[in-house]
Structure 1
Amino acid sequence: MPPRRPQLAGCAWLLALVPLTALADAVPEVTVDAAKQEYRRIHVDVRHAAGPETTAYEVWFSDRPFRSTPDAELHSTVLIGDVSGLARTAPAFDTQDCWSGGLPIHRNADDLPVVARDAGAWSCSLSGMTPGADQWIAVVPVGANGRSTASFEPVMARTDVADERTPEPDTLHITVTLAAVVLAAVALLSYLRFRDVRGGRAGTRHAYVYVAPALIGLTALTFYPIAYGVWLAFTDASQSHLGQENWNGIGNFVTVAASPGILRVGAFTMIWTFTNVAAHVGIGLLLAYTLTRPGIRGSTLYRTVLLLPWAIPGYISVLAWNGMLQPDGLLNAILGTAIDFTATPNAARASVILVNIWLGIPFMMMALSGALQGIPTDMFEAAELEGASRWDQFVRLTLPNLKGTLVPISLLGFIWTFNTFNTIYLMTRGNPYVGFGEPGATDTLITYVFSVAFDYGQYGVAAAWSVALFLLLVGISYVYVKRSGVMELAR
């Protein structure tokens, strides 16, 4: 029987080709979309079926062809993992702007892009590319050990898009208007001075000199910006043509009314505001009443300690709380857990509300302490002689005498809390993600207006939001003051 070694050799060659063929099939397909190139940006689309050993994609680039990663520079990394609990958000830094399924890519707590293992396709806009020069880009699948799990093939790309700088806006009309406003304030003061002279009140000459700087400053820095913001609400002002806006009528207000998620963010704004104000006033009144009772030792020390959250700059306090609420923060270290208190919508909402309550209690406590100390003590002495309990004294004497303070301070607290920005922005930036184009789970109307203006560049729409919110606060304040009867009490 003839030897069968040639057949065995052929089988060996086939077995040797199998892994090479599998490796070749695993090469990511990278295509460059020339139509989406921007200044210093190259848009790449990636198609690849990730194997079980692949844990991430590394994007490498160089100004010359390369066959190994040491000859190139790492641009960014896209992780592979479970995306069910991650939000689709824009990057904090404009270097890894990526998409999957036509939406912004999922991102983890470290702001790194994450794609599902079965996604099959994703795309990125790579920043920092040299304009007018050839670039070679490769997407390398890597495993947990950092080694590539498949071969790669760099593709050549380039961006020839020139830097398009927005021309300087025409601010002549703003300068002229501002000058006219200042001149109007000066003319008003001059006219009032003239009337005083005609009326024989010559001694008021220096009064107008003292008042003039404050009035001109208020007119230029407060009244004029408010009027300009109201005017912007009726224009199509945006980031691309600020200073060259056109009249838009009520179009921006129609956009406001039709904004996605407006009912949800409005409802959370009201929950946020009423919960905070109720807690600020309630807990602040309780602490103030307790510390003003006679016989309390160390009340001054207690007030000083309780005032610290108000004395410390708010952004420092919020950032400290944000760090303590992280999975590796102080609170989890005490509890022995690894809970992300801002990962889910309800947990994030509760976290920002509790932090803001902690920040606002000291002010209410100090304001109400002063009001309590101003209540005559002889009423309470007479009530004790009549056998009234402390609760009866509080309800029938303390609260009625505090009405003149509680009503305005509650109204101010409502307005301040409604307009609060730093707590939510520094803790969650409005996240968690809810839906594309919608406000985040912890966004209030104020933080959402900030996003409309400075994330989307829609200044006209943001100005319309501001006007609408101003009118809303004026209406609520009027109804509150009218129903409380505080004006009649002041008379």
Structure 2
Amino acid sequence: VTYKGWSVSKQSSNKVAAAELALWFSSENVQKEFAVETYTMPTHVALESDEEIIEDPVLSGFFEQTKVGTPAPTTRAMSLVYDPLSTAFEQAYSEIASTEEALSGANQQLKEQIATLARAEPYPLADGYRTITIEFETNNSYSFDVYVDGDLHTEIRMQEGSNGSVLGYDSCTDGTNELLQIGQIRMVQASTRVVECELTGMVPDKEHLIEVYSEQELVYSTRAQTTVEDERPKAGDTSPVLFALGAIVLSLIALLSFAKWNDTKLGRTKSKLAHFYVAPALLALAILTFYPVLYGFWLAFTDANQTQLGDQSFIGFDNFWEVFSSNGFLRVALFTLVWTVVNVSAHIGIGLFLANLLHRSKINGKVAYRTLLLLPWAVPSYISVLVWRGMFQPDGFVNDLLGTNIDFLSDPTGAQIIVILVNIWLGVPFMMMSISGALQSLPSDMYEAAEVDGVSGWRAFRYLTLPNLRSALIPLSLLGFIWTFNMFNVIYLMTDGGPNLYFGEPGQTDILITYVYDVAFREGAYGVAAAWSVIIFLMLFAFSWRYMKQTNATEAVG
């Protein structure tokens, strides 16, 4: 069963229009059209008796489920259910746990997540905004229906006992206590003499006709309106961001002014506008690159999350301790290393082989072959990855070719091998073309002289081609390592990090960058995600520095 909910931002200046749009989306005709075309749960109660809906086994089945189901609350805690539930499904499907064990683990994980969930203070509502209060006597009647402008608004029924619960939204009391609800019906005790209801959904400055019927007899009628103005929360304080951006701009102006004065004094340039020309590029680089990076470093030392972003507090190295002590850190770091080394090695090795083959061989149609080999890189990667994902589905091309029905992506090892193979397929063309360009620059007379001395084939490749390609291969491999280490889209689109077999841990195909995405945008822990990002940056910085020192990369380029 799927559910749909509508919410209106507290910041909205058009709440009435937004509510009317939500009501239109929830109307009988729109919901029926949406349900029939998309096979999703129709949310309008009148459709329960619609003949077309009843005759459809899927849609009528949805309605049967609602009779025994509990409406899902549209809260942050509700959105947390999907991650542990998905892991429970994977565990049961992979048979590493029984259904009962998997669901028990999911329930425990959800409780732990809810317990640590940060909650913002509720914004105080404007008393009387979009509400009208009515009060009427029961006169020992058993049922009451409240109509607003001819539409049923609230149902109240007489009942002995204390069954039901308080669900919120409308408020109806017996003068002292809130009336309990069973479903959408308010329950009132036989001893109650007066019912007071605060009716919501009223349009400000519009007169509403409110009528209360008891067993089809009018017992209360009034015309009323609310004139209470909407109170919108103040927007977040952006002055620190504006101050930082202003400081960056002023610093660059001062720096460029000093550089211009110094260069003119030393006679380094005669151009009056040279520094002016480079200013836009430097400004864009500072605002779009350096400032976000520095801000990310700052967030790593705070408790920033989706509830407290903009109101975070400094907590020192707590986020880093949480990263290093988290379950699965070593596993995801190890797979990231395997993923990167295997991919870069394959990109360089296969790319070098193909480039050398097309450069040295005397086959016809080299341009056509290069064009064909370039296609995987020319096609947008997200399209290629989605095609590969479809091919490896149980009903995909690979299973049709093999005559099997294997879910390749549900097996941890199989999924890891597949995402690596797909990324190799995507990355080889770029390396091949880059190395081809380097091969074109090698002098042909060097090989001619080597042939005269009896050096050809493998020996020529080993002692002539490889040493002369060093200046190209070293920076290419370094860039390839950094790109692949942070390759997000292949993992995200192919497996979304899954299969997820362990609660609260990275998926089996998650690499560091994809897990950071989960931490930031699914768990909402921006501070922890920033700490992960800082660690990734330090890993790449340390590797790059060591790699350049070890290989003398800068000297090779020079």
TM-score, normalised to structure 1's length?
0.70
Amino acid at match of 1:156: G
Which residue in 2 is equivalent to 1:174? 241
1:251 and 1:455 map into 2 onto residues whose CA distance is: 20
Which residue in 2 is equivalent to 1:426? 493
Change (3 A) 1:247 1:332: same
Change (3 A) 1:180 1:98: closer
Among 478, 481, 487, which residue is 1:411 paired with?
478
Which residue in 2 is equivalent to 1:156? 183
Which residue in 2 is equivalent to 1:209? 276
Change (3 A) 1:362 1:61: closer
Which residue in 2 is equivalent to 1:17? none
Which residue in 2 is equivalent to 1:248? 315
Amino acid at match of 1:399: L
Matched, 1:354 2:421: yes
Unaligned runs of 5+ in 2: 1-39, 67-75, 111-152, 157-180, 187-197, 201-231
Superposed displacement of residue 251, structure 1:
1.0
Determine if contact 1:98/1:105 at 8 Å carries over to the other structure: no
Amino acid at match of 2:237: D
Among 328, 335, 349, which residue is 1:261 paired with?
328
Among 338, 348, 352, which residue is 1:281 paired with?
348
Alignment RMSD, CA only? Answer: 4.0
Matched, 1:307 2:334: no
Amino acid at match of 2:342: T
1:196 and 1:119 map into 2 onto residues whose CA distance is: 69
2:234 and 2:77 map into 1 onto residues whose CA distance is: 25
Superposed displacement of residue 170, structure 1:
2.0
1:365 and 1:120 map into 2 onto residues whose CA distance is: 49
Matched, 1:74 2:62: yes
Matched, 1:239 2:296: no
State the SS of the aligned residue for 1:292.
helix
1:472 and 1:445 map into 2 onto residues whose CA distance is: 11
State the SS of the aligned residue for 2:501.
coil
Change (3 A) 1:376 1:72: closer
Which residue in 2 is equivalent to 1:43? none
Which residue in 2 is equivalent to 1:15? none
1:98 and 1:215 map into 2 onto residues whose CA distance is: 42
Change (3 A) 1:381 1:325: same
Among 455, 460, 472, which residue is 2:539 paired with?
472
State the SS of the aligned residue for 1:203.
coil
Determine if contact 2:88/2:501 at 8 Å carries over to the other structure: no
Change (3 A) 1:395 1:274: same
2:318 and 2:494 map into 1 onto residues whose CA distance is: 33
Which residue in 2 is equivalent to 1:229? 296
Matched, 1:195 2:262: yes
2:297 and 2:544 map into 1 onto residues whose CA distance is: 20
Superposed displacement of residue 117, structure 1:
9.2
Deviations 1:176-196 (A, max 9, x none): 111111111112112222334
State the SS of the aligned residue for 1:408.
helix
State the SS of the aligned residue for 1:246.
coil
Superposed displacement of residue 116, structure 1:
4.9
Superposed displacement of residue 76, structure 1:
9.2
Deviations 1:338-394 (A, max 9, x none): 221101101111110000000000000000011111111122112222222401111
Which residue in 1 is equivalent to 2:549? 482
1:414 and 1:76 map into 2 onto residues whose CA distance is: 54
Which residue in 2 is equivalent to 1:395? 462
Among 346, 350, 364, which residue is 2:431 paired with?
364
Matched, 1:378 2:445: yes
Which residue in 1 is equivalent to 2:285? 218
Which residue in 1 is equivalent to 2:509? 442
- How many residues are matched? 387
Determine if contact 2:85/2:103 at 8 Å carries over to the other structure: no
Amino acid at match of 2:311: Q
Which residue in 1 is equivalent to 2:205? none
Among 340, 350, 364, which residue is 2:407 paired with?
340
Determine if contact 2:87/2:500 at 8 Å carries over to the other structure: no
Identity %: 49
Superposed displacement of residue 96, structure 1:
9.2
Unaligned runs of 5+ in 1: 1-57, 79-93, 125-131, 136-153
1:76 and 1:97 map into 2 onto residues whose CA distance is: 24
TM-score, normalised to structure 2's length?
0.62
Change (3 A) 1:386 1:178: same
1:301 and 1:158 map into 2 onto residues whose CA distance is: 73
2:261 and 2:102 map into 1 onto residues whose CA distance is: 78
Determine if contact 1:169/1:241 at 8 Å carries over to the other structure: no
Change (3 A) 1:390 1:438: same
Determine if contact 1:63/1:134 at 8 Å carries over to the other structure: no
2:419 and 2:544 map into 1 onto residues whose CA distance is: 25
1:95 and 1:460 map into 2 onto residues whose CA distance is: 19
Which residue in 2 is equivalent to 1:272? 339
Superposed displacement of residue 486, structure 1:
2.9
Deviations 1:226-249 (A, max 9, x none): 111111111111110111111111
State the SS of the aligned residue for 1:342.
helix
Which residue in 1 is equivalent to 2:19? none
